[in-house]
Every structure is written in C-alpha cells, then in structure tokens.
Structure 1
C-alpha cells in the first residue's frame, strides 16, 4: 500500500508495466475483432482519488493494447449513480458497464438493469478463484450478473500501548472476552471500544456481523439470538464501554476516537490503515479478528462489483475488458495502489503484495473468508433503514426485545 503521492504515480506506472508484460491477444475484444467499438462506463469513484486514478490507468492501458476500443467514463456521486440507473431503464440511457457497490447489486438485478452473464463467467473458468462472499453478492437464483472487483471487511483495531499498560497479554477472541477487555480498558476519558451506529448504511454495516455471530439473520431478527446481538451492544453502551455518541458517528468519526486515544479498540475497515500510518506514525496499534459469538466469527463484505447492463449492445467487448481487469498481473498492482483487497484468493495469497506481507493486512485477508454479503434482494435499502432505526432505538434505551420484534414485523415482508 503506497502512501505518498509520488509513489502513487509510480504505482500507476507499475500497473501499466504489469499489464504490458502480458502480451496476450485475448483482450482483443470479442474473438480478437478489430472492429471499432465504444464502451461506456459509469462509476462513483471520486475525482482525484486513488481509485479514480486506477480506473483511468486501466482504461488508458487497455485502449493502448486495443486501439479499436474507445471508452467513455462518467463519474457520478454515489447516490446519483443509483438514481440514474433506475431512470435509465425506461429511457434506454444506460451505460455498458457499471461499477456498483456490492450490497446494491441484487436490487439492480431485480430491477432489470444488469445482464445475465452466466455463460461468459462459466466459459472463463476462473470464478472458483474468488472468495465465496464476494461472488454471492453478484449472483441471484444461481446465475451470475457480474463479478467482484475488490473487497473489504471489518476487523478490530487495538491500541498496543493501552493493552500493554493494562497487562493484557492475550487478544480477546469471544464476545465475553472482548467485553471483559473493553471494560478493563475503559477509564476516565477513554472508552474500551468504538463502533458506528449512525443512521446510514455504515450503521447497518457495523451491526450485522454481531447478528450473524449470534446465529441470527434478517429473517430471524427477533429471535433469541437476534435479541442477544442487539443486547450485547446496548449493554456496552449502558456500562460506558461504548460511547452513546456511536449513534452519531460514521466510520471516520470512529477512527478519530481511536486516533486520539479516546477509544482503546475500534471496529473498522482496511481503508483506515494508510490514514493511521501517515497521520499518526507514533501510535502503536494492530488489528485482530472479529470476536466469536455463539455461532462463531463473522465479518461483513464491502467492496465493488463489475456488471454489464442488459441493454448494452457491446456485451462481449465489455466482458473482455472486465475479464482483463481480473488478470492477476493487472488486478494485484491496481488494488495495492488503492489500498483495497482483491476478491481473488490466488491474488490475495501472492507474496509480492503487501496484503500477504503486512501482518495487519493479513488479518483483513483472513477476515474475508468469513465476510458475508448483504445479499437480501431488491428491498435491501429499505430493510437497511429499518435496521438503522432499530440500532438507534436500542442505543437510546428502548427495550431490545420490543425493538427487535417490531422491526422484524416490518423486515419480514421485504425479504425475498
């Protein structure tokens, strides 16, 4: 993971060099055709971000190797992209390729936006190299409507200095152990643990792993296990181990609590690693796996998928480009530059990359093996809103059993 802007530029050049080294004619469009073609891509990669620079580098290199292909890339803010996709169905104004947030993938499948590319994926023969969770996020009814591009998951960051000063030698592995360690680390001005419970997708993202660890899911939200999951978080708030301000914190706010040593541990993703390393070089910290509940450990999948739209007239050419982006010598340098994790296990295990060398990145790669997708069909955005409201109600002191039961009544009709 490269940290300085000059290294970032060099990293982009490495992508180009790595791609050039392939010398494979398989990227020459459908069947190697040199027929002129334009491929339109929509994404939400913010201008001047490392992710956007990667995207532009990929497109530029592919065009150099395939001069008959021209790309038209359009950036849209995250929420605008989803709106434009829905508007574009009726108007016939969709792009050929979309880079989509993986929890939104299934809702757009059901809306008829994305093409069934099962035959292409099966003929490709490499999908078995991918982690199960990322692949599931791009599927519906055992059919492929895209493939994973990059992934992330949640894990637990901890302050090594605080652990040492408190005499904590063993890392907590279970709910009970995490609770006890967090309680022990809670002191004046310091909370033992920090997580987001904000009323947005980030709140749902940070809570669902506990639901799964307990042995529940959205279709059993009000089960004993589901009630136990929410009670676990509520109790830590009531005991002062987690700040009640978690309902106002997004994941960046949680990072601030950890950076400023107002929290001894935090639940967060791998994208925070370069920030900690660059902005707080003197802070001693490491990462550990999410705790085990009654049903074992689990994390949650984040990241983005590639998809081809149903109305595209250049599906085969679009697939050739997507397939090329997944070649290990293209995919690896691209994700290392952006601080993202590959969805392919073979690339994830490649020792030349930092995620296979750095001990903290290794934890996130290991966590991907238990990272579950938010694959709950077209109504997931509405379901997520209900989960967010349940978190807010529980953290502000409402009876957890009543919260879970009333929320389950609303969620159940929305599930596929």
Structure 2
C-alpha cells in the first residue's frame, strides 16, 4: 500500500481514541457539506497533490462534467477519518470522499457511508478480492479507484553472482536456500518491514496467509510457522536485525544500496526501482509449500457519505462514475502506480508498461485485510499481530508464546 501510515486510523480506533480526536477538530468540518448547490466537496488522502496536479485536475474535471464545481481538500488519512466522523456528527459531511480501504468498515459502522447499490453505482466489473476490502455484510460501500500490494523485488546482479535463478524460487524452502547461497558470497539476503505499526502487519500478512493462516486464530500452527520463518532469517543473518525498525521506505532504501538480493515492497516503488542503478526483477511472494501467497490489498475507495440533503446524491454519483470510468482509471492508476481494479483496464496497463505484469498477478492473489467479515475487528487483531512479531524478532518470546499472547489480547477486545 502506497501510504501505510494512513492506516494508523485503524490503530487509533483500536485504542478507542478516534472520537475524542475528532471532537478536538471543531474547526475542520465547518465548510465540508454546507456549500452552495453548485459546489460539491471532495476529500481525499493525497495532500501531496496540489491544484496543478493531474489528480486535482481530474477531480475538478469530473465535477465540470457533472455540471458543478468541486472544492477538493487533500489531507492525511488519519485527519480525514477524524474529520469525516466530526462532519457526520454535525450533519455536514463532504459529498464525495476517497478513503483507504481498511477505513471503510470503520466509517460504515459509524453510519457515515452509503451503499454503492443504493446510489446505482455498478461494481460488477471489479475483481471480487478488491471490492471485498470495502464490502460489509454483502454490500459494497464505494468503488475502488485502484489497488496496490506487495511482492519481492530482486537484484539480478546479486542473484547471478550467487548462481541463483529467480525462477527456481517456488516456496519457502527454495527461498531460504537461495538466501543462504547469497550470504555465502558476502552479500545480504532479504530486507522487509517488521516495524510495530500497521506497516509491519501489512508486510507479515503474505507469509502468514501463505502458510494458511487465519486472522481469527493467529496462534494456530500456520501463524507460528510464518513468524518462525522470519525469526530464523534474522537469527541466521539472512535478514537484518533492523527490520524491527524498518518502515517500508527505509527497507526500500536498504534494498536500493545494491547489497541485498531481495526486498519485500510494493507497486509504489516501481519508479524508484528504475532509478536504483542495477537491474532488478519482481517475483510473487511464495507460499510455504508453493504457489503465490495471498497478499494484502492497498488502495482507496471512492465513497459517498450520508447527507441530510439526499438530492445531492445524483451529482455525487456522477462524479464517482467519472472518476472510475475506464479511461480515468487507466490515467489515474498509471500516475499513482496502482493496479486498476478491473481486468479490462489492467490489460491496458500491462500493454502500456510491461513492468506492471507481475503486480497484476499479485493483486489477483490479494485479499482485503478487513474481508471475510473481520471489519473493525481487523485493527485490534493487527495491533496484536505486529506486537507478536516485534516480541519474537527481538528475542522476547518464542513465536508460539508471542502469538498465544496476541490471540488472548485480540479475543479480549473483540
């Protein structure tokens, strides 16, 4: 996921502090929904894009196409979530809102979002696993604008010097064997993020799910196997001890030094990979016994918050439909390094940029963190999961003990 710090709203919710944070933001929502009939408000988690950006022009262009002007506000997702809750309480929510997919279930539980079907928004062409991240009780609450996920970047020079063929990596055993061969040449094995935040959970999930893990039973054998794998890599020096502090950005910076064979990271690093100064490739993260491991989906959903003035929904729906039209999905997702949520646009993306092919495959195997009925239980489980990873990799508790503690804590808060 491009900006995983955004998902910290989930962790805030898990500790019960979001509402109080929102209540302190009384100045933030005053102009959010009470605008003139010809002006529609749009919030997104892209504060890095100013009015001159392609993204901002696309949003205002979709408003113009719907016959209205759009007042766009970009803010960090944590702020966006807090302000959305406050605005809803005050009855002046924005007309359209782009939110990180794990946040959807939280906003639905708060009664803030409309069902896509109630607005006449068609999600039938969206890949089931992508729409699943924003689906609760069988109903979608928005339309995904794109998805990103994780895979393994590899340094072709490092693998070649060690006599390792990337195509030979089929499962955990062959990956570990490759790492050992690479270490023997004096190079470093694999780097990833195991930091004690949502980023750590996000990066651990492919290994957890790749062993057959179930987030409602994190201490089952599958979870223990995945955490034991990471622990064994750190203990053998196949992964650095600083994974405990690594964000996905700092992990990428390590890989970009050219000293590492593999780096677990996301679609959003493609532009940086092209500038790395060495030839690279991408393979899917392997499952324990083979095949591609399920990976978590990142990306945002375009949603329509609940309004007192329900007559505004028709125009809001036009704006959403414009943003998720095939032509705009292709332009937007190429700009943001997202994989489109529909097969037809994915095909066009790969035709334009062959480097996206393994990412399309990875997204096809991905799953939503809040899917399968987890909803707002996910943040609680995730927080305990990353705490278990930290505990084991730092030498505090063995994998089974750390995950037993995590399971007990998660169950107590569910």
Asked whether the two chains share a fold, i.e. TM above 0.5, the reply is yes
> Normalising by structure 1, what TM-score?
0.84
Other-structure match for 1:88: 87
Superposition pairs of residues 379-390 of structure 1, within 5 angstroms:
379-390=377-388
Other-structure match for 2:283: 288
Other-structure match for 1:37: 38
Tell me the secondary structure at the aligned position of residue 342 of structure 1.
Answer: coil
2:183 counterpart of 1:186: yes
Per-residue CA shift, 1:145-169, capped at 9, x if unaligned? Answer: 1111110010000010111111112
The change in CA–CA distance for 1:358 and 1:183 in structure 2 (over 3 A counts) is farther
The change in CA–CA distance for 1:95 and 1:110 in structure 2 (over 3 A counts) is same
Hey, what's the Cα distance between the residues in 2 that align with 1:414 and 1:349? 43
- Using the TM superposition, name which of 249-258 and 303-312 deviates more: 303-312
2:135 counterpart of 1:139: yes
- Correspondent of 2:364 among 369, 384, 388: 369
Other-structure match for 2:260: 263
Tell me the secondary structure at the aligned position of residue 87 of structure 2.
Answer: helix
Hey, what's the Cα distance between the residues in 1 that align with 2:308 and 2:285? 41
Contact 2:385/2:403 (8 A) holds in 1 = no
Q: Number of residues paired by the alignment? A: 371
Other-structure match for 1:61: 61
Tell me the secondary structure at the aligned position of residue 151 of structure 1.
Answer: coil
Other-structure match for 1:198: 195
The change in CA–CA distance for 1:63 and 1:143 in structure 2 (over 3 A counts) is closer
Hey, what's the Cα distance between the residues in 1 that align with 2:289 and 2:314? 46
The change in CA–CA distance for 1:49 and 1:412 in structure 2 (over 3 A counts) is farther
Other-structure match for 2:297: 301
Superposition pairs of residues 4-403 of structure 1, within 5 angstroms:
36-48=37-49, 53-66=53-66, 68-121=67-120, 124-125=121-122, 127-169=123-165, 170-187=167-184, 190-278=187-275, 280=276, 282-294=277-289, 296=291, 297-311=293-307, 313=309, 314-350=312-348, 353=349, 355-375=350-370, 376-397=374-395, 398-403=397-402
> Normalising by structure 2, what TM-score?
0.84
Tell me the secondary structure at the aligned position of residue 357 of structure 2.
Answer: helix
**Runs (5+) with no aligned partner, structure 2:** 1-35
C-alpha deviation, 1:381, in angstroms = 2.7
Hey, what's the Cα distance between the residues in 1 that align with 2:89 and 2:335? 38
Hey, what's the Cα distance between the residues in 1 that align with 2:50 and 2:282? 25
Per-residue CA shift, 1:215-265, capped at 9, x if unaligned? Answer: 112111011111111111111111111111101000111111111023210
For the aligned residues, what is the CA RMSD? 2.1
Contact 2:182/2:189 (8 A) holds in 1 = yes
Hey, what's the Cα distance between the residues in 1 that align with 2:363 and 2:161? 31
**Runs (5+) with no aligned partner, structure 1:** 1-34
C-alpha deviation, 1:199, in angstroms = 1.4
